[in-house]
Amino acid sequence: MNAMHSYFSYADRLFQRCVVLWLVAGLTGLSVSSAAESDLVDLAQPSVAAPHFGANKSTDMTNSAIGRDPTDINVADPVSYYADRTRAIELAKNQNWQEAKPLLQTLTTEFGDDGDTWFALGLTYLGLEQWQEGIEALENALALGTRLFGMPGGGANPNDMMIRLAEAFGQMGDEEGAIHWIDQALDARWDDRPRLAGTSFFQQGKNPNFEAFEASEAFQRAAGSYLPNELSRDEGWRYDLHYLASEINRLHVHPFHATSAEAFQQKVNDIHRRIPELSDQQVVFAFMELLGTLGNGHNFIVPAFGEKGSFGQLPMQFYWFSDGLFVVNASEPYRQWIGYKVEQIGDMSTLKALELIKTVNPRDNEMQQRWLAPYYLGLPSVLEGLGIVDKADAVTLTLSDSRGARHSVSPEIKPMSFAGYPKLPGLSTGDSPLYLSGNHDNYWFKKLPKQLLYVQFNDVVDKESQSLKQFSEQIQQLIVEGEVADMVLDLRHNSGGDGSLNAPMVATTVLFKALRPKGELFVLIGRNTFSAAHNLVMSITELTDAVLVGEPSGSRPNAISEAGWFNLPYSKQTGLISSQFHQYGAPEDHRIWIAPHVPVSLSSEQYFKGEDPVMTAVAGISGN
């Protein structure tokens, strides 16, 4: 997941012929009220309580190892084969298709059991617009499997490969073939369905491969963008509700590990019944509560970008320090309240309000509650939905200053904005300490006295100016040249991104320990250390004796994660659903977080004074 992280997703096992709204059929006492609403229902589909809905899909495979016999190895010169293989893949990565093609054709002929070379050959054919040949090569790669990353326009994950197959059929004008592979990808929990309809965060605009039939109902249903004509307001929201429920079932790797299928269905039934009584924002809040039943992180709705039901937001940012909840940022004219403690929201104590937030904050552990609960408290529609305030448009905060004097503040609500998971901001006055001076820059480093290298890694996302691999190689050069005695890798602001980019940074830490065995490697962690950043910590601690300093992490070694995005057809609200199980620890690793070897908390006084107790602890241990 990137800064949005991290990342985020989506219709029954497939939306093959229609948007399958299976839950409506099981609603007690409800009937289909119009022709338009009947289009939402497929009575042939099972209800959510059917046995397969509760299954753990983490062991699902998209191919079978049984029945595919190995072919003969016809490699006369293994050394030349390896040289050709290396060159061919590099040529394909650089989109030098004409030179790559004959090499890859020969490689797959000499040895037909390598999914990597079939994958590279398939992408090469597509690059040369040889669609049928590309389809055949990619089908071989899919049958064998591949983990060849870094290829242009082609993810090595099976469901990404299925979409490439769909795109190839689309280029040939074969709608039936394209939809077949889209359905296969959706069944394999493909996690960016909005990309088909041009509503993805990561690829704006319609997919040109499907231009020939993008207006057809069959394609729109597969893409998740189909909306029946002339829906009433209530029917539109019900359409969104059942689309969301269906995408939860399709995408979530184990949707009923924290609730039962029956309880989930009852929740959907209840929302369906209440929609006529709810405002648009209240419907979206009900959707947040539905996601809240899933019981793990990477389940999130971002009510900022929809055409209907988007939230307002308080003009303040809160942070949960060791001594309570404080205002750490605000827009004018409320900046005067930065540094004040939040004692009450409406008539409710802050601690009680934080406790109520848990129902809309599906999380991996309670450190994630420390991290994200303050964000939810800044959304008045959440405050109203949980009964913390009576009305979303009238929120009163009771704030206290350093002397304990209390002040009542009723801030004006602003339209919601969202630029990613919340991070602790730099100080509003004076110079910010090192750890807050650049936490919106993906990665950077600074040489400190006594050859202590401080590396801050905030988002697992390549920068345009320098890839993460290039940045890691720059640090490796400093290590090789003997300029680093001790090293700090600060991951306290890193909530994830693209985990496939982590390897060079892992290699950097291993290189440091190999060349400086007596040097200290410090990894700084906290509540924001999540998703791909959390996986990075797991990899580093498996391979080095890194000293972990800070707070417990915001996730678990083995966790349901990944970000599968959804875009609701009627309201256009966007969010994500966790679609994969990541096992970075041993099967028996049941830790609820990664605990620091050196536990250090942060108080409001330390923050507002510009102190960094974590780096103070590092300096004490390293002698700096």
Which pLDDT belongs to residue 149? 86
Q: Comparing 168-182, 265-279, 317-331, 571-585, which segment has the lowest mean pLDDT? A: 571-585
The angle subtended at Cα 190 by Cα 297 and Cα 219, nearest 5°, is: 130
Measured distance CA(89)–CA(84) in Å, rounded: 9
**pLDDT for the residue 202:** 72
Which residue shows structure tokens 């991996």?
Answer: 364
Pairing of strands 521-525, 547-550: parallel
DSSP 166-190: HHHHHHTT-HHHHHHHHHHHHHTT-
For 12-46, how does the pLDDT look when each residue is reduced to its tens digit (9 = 90+)? 332 232 322 222 233 223 333 333 444 444 322 33
Per residue in 272-323, pLDDT (tens digit) is 999 999 999 999 999 999 999 999 999 999 999 999 999 999 999 999 999 9
pLDDT tens string 324-363? 999 999 999 999 999 999 999 999 999 999 999 999 999 9
Quick one: 308 exposed, middle or buried, by C-beta within 10 A (0-12, 13-18, 19+)? middle
Q: What's the rounded Cα separation, in Å, for the pair 211 and 479? A: 51
Q: Which residues are within 8 A (CB) of 455 and not within 5 positions of it... i.e. 6 or more apart?
A: 443, 444, 445, 475, 487, 488, 489, 490
List beta partners, residue 558.
Answer: 583
**CATH topology identical between 78-187 and 312-415:** no
Task: Give domain 312-415's CATH number out of 2.30.42.10, 3.40.50.80, 3.40.50.300, 1.10.1740.10.
Answer: 2.30.42.10
Cα gap 15→265, rounded to integer Å: 19
Which CATH homologous superfamily contains domain 78-187? Answer: Tetratricopeptide repeat domain (1.25.40.10)
Q: Average pLDDT for residues 487-508, to the nearest whole number?
A: 96
pLDDT digits (tens, 9 = 90+) for 79-95: 999 999 999 999 999 99
DSSP 139: H
* Tokens, residue 251: 């995408």
Collect all residues with Cβ–Cβ distance below 8 Å to 90 and sequence separation of at least 6: none
Rounded Cα distance between 259 and 53, Å, is 12
Judging by DSSP bridges, how do beta strands 341-345 and 397-400 pair with one another? antiparallel
CA-based radius of gyration for the chain: 26
Return d(Cα 88, Cα 69) in angstroms, integer. Answer: 26
From its phi and psi, is residue 250 left (phi > 0), alpha (psi between -120 and 50) or beta?
A: alpha
Lowest mean pLDDT among 82-96, 202-216, 464-478: 202-216
Domain boundaries, the chain: 24-60+229-302, 78-187, 312-415
pLDDT confidence of residue 203: 74
Whether the link from the prior residue into 504 is cis, omega within 30° of 0, is no
DSSP strand pairing (580-583 vs 574-577)? unpaired
Q: Name the helix (H) or strand (E) containing 489.
A: strand 486-490
Q: 159-173, 450-464, 484-498, 557-571: lowest mean pLDDT where?
A: 557-571
Note the residue count of the chain: 624
Helix (H) or strand (E) run with residue 222 in it: helix 217-223
**Does the pLDDT of residue 111 top 90, yes or no?**
yes
Residue 471 confidence (pLDDT) above 50? yes
**Whole-number Å distance between alpha carbons of 607 and 585:** 33
For the stretch 273-282, contacts whose Cβ atoms lie closer than 8 Å and that sit 24 or more positions apart, written own/partner, are 273/27, 273/30, 275/234, 275/237, 275/238, 275/241, 276/234, 280/237, 280/308, 280/309, 280/571, 281/309, 281/310, 281/311, 281/381, 281/392, 282/381, 282/384, 282/385
Return the residue matching tokens 């990665």: 443
Q: pLDDT over 70 for what percent of the chain?
A: 91
- Alpha carbon distance 457, 524 (integer Å): 10
Q: Of all helices (H) and strands (E), which one includes residue 581?
A: strand 580-583
For 352, counting Cβ atoms within 10 Å of its Cβ (0-12 exposed, 13-18 middle, 19+ buried), the class is: exposed
- Structure confidence at residue 154 as a pLDDT band (50, 70, 90): low
296 within 8 A of 258, measured Cβ to Cβ: yes
